Amino acid sequence: MKNITLMLLICSSIGWASQTNIQYPQVTSQVSYQSVTQLPFRKPDARISYGSDQLQFGLLWYGRSNEPKPLVVLIHGGCWLNAFGVDHSQAMATALSQAGYPVWSLEYRRTGDPGGGWPGSLNDIILALNQLSVLHGHDIQTDQVVLLGHSAGGHLALLAANEMPAINWHKIIGLAAITDVSRYALGSNSCQQATAKFMAGLPHEQAEAYQQANLLYRKLSNQVVLLHGDADQIVPELQSKLFATANEVLAGAGHFDWIHPGSPAFELLLNRLADE
């Protein structure tokens, strides 16, 4: 078994040496969603199903480093809507893998998909996290796990971490995460208006469901870090400030800066991942 592992490491090292890292353009702040979708990315090393539905899968990138780093389980955002899928986070996953982190980027059923919405989308994330052992066949260690979610994906990541305290979380990071869904549902932008579709109603119509989905009624783990930009026009900064001890605000950063590998926001993310 040791010889097999050594061979895998040697082969991986050869593969890394033969591939040039993608150099992402440096940007300042307030990047657009479209600019993120146009970024180059490295194709995932594997696609691994965690359930029987065609949307229950994760894309796996090996960490391009000989030094072991925690596994990052990435939950993409997109207002919980099936119009926004895992593909828009591929540049982010590529950059994280180039920084040495193995990444399992999860797709899941969303609003508009059979079985998606509340609580189906959360159940998919929990189902995947309960099957981290499937990654062992790819020589991925799961003794330390970073759960990383952006926007609506941050909401699902934080809820899933709260539901699964038995996992040895190295860190739980919400990037521009939606935390108070009841407050968020009353907003006027398109993503806020999508909350009622996700929850099958407004807060006064689905009071019990909103209470279950609202992180204000959950105790956040000490491993939780919330990163937010004060120029976010999609998820107000207040959504992270509700948890004062866990949040960090980056001046000038917009909503999609966190998933653009050339932004100061992404550099801050890498620094927080490296923090002990």
Instruction: Tell me how far apart the terminal alpha carbons of the chain are, to the nearest angstrom.
Output: 31
Report the C-alpha gap between 101 and 83 in whole angstroms.
28
* Tens of each residue's pLDDT in the chain, 276 residues: 333 333 334 344 434 444 789 999 999 999 999 999 999 999 999 999 999 999 999 999 999 988 899 999 999 999 999 999 999 999 999 999 999 999 999 999 999 999 999 999 999 999 999 999 999 999 999 999 999 999 999 999 999 999 998 898 999 999 999 999 999 999 999 999 999 999 999 999 999 999 999 999 998 888 999 999 999 999 999 999 998 888 999 999 999 999 999 999 999 999 999 997
Architecture in CATH for domain 24-274: 3-Layer(aba) Sandwich (3.40)
Report the C-alpha gap between 247 and 238 in whole angstroms.
10
Tell me which residue has tokens 């440096």: 26
CA angle 125, 91, 57 (to 5 degrees): 30
Half-sphere CA count of 200, side-chain side, radius 13 A: 13
Contact present, 64 and 100 (Cβ < 8 Å): yes
What local confidence, expressed as pLDDT, does residue 66 receive?
Answer: 82
What local confidence, expressed as pLDDT, does residue 65 receive?
Answer: 85
Report the C-alpha gap between 18 and 99 in whole angstroms.
16
What local confidence, expressed as pLDDT, does residue 89 receive?
Answer: 98
Q: Which among 135, 160, 130, 133 has a CA at the least distance from the CA of 148?
A: 160
Report the C-alpha gap between 105 and 46 in whole angstroms.
11
Q: Report the Cα 141 to chain-centroid distance in Å.
A: 19
- What three-state secondary structure class fits 59? strand
Report the C-alpha gap between 212 and 231 in whole angstroms.
29
The secondary element (H helix, E strand) that includes residue 199 is: helix 190-199
pTM: 0.93
What local confidence, expressed as pLDDT, does residue 245 receive?
Answer: 83
What local confidence, expressed as pLDDT, does residue 222 receive?
Answer: 87
b/e burial code for range 185-195 (CB count within 10 A of at least 16 → b) = beeeeebbebb
The residues, ordered by sequence, that sit 6+ positions from 12 with a Cβ below 8 Å of its Cβ are: 62
Report the C-alpha gap between 260 and 30 in whole angstroms.
10
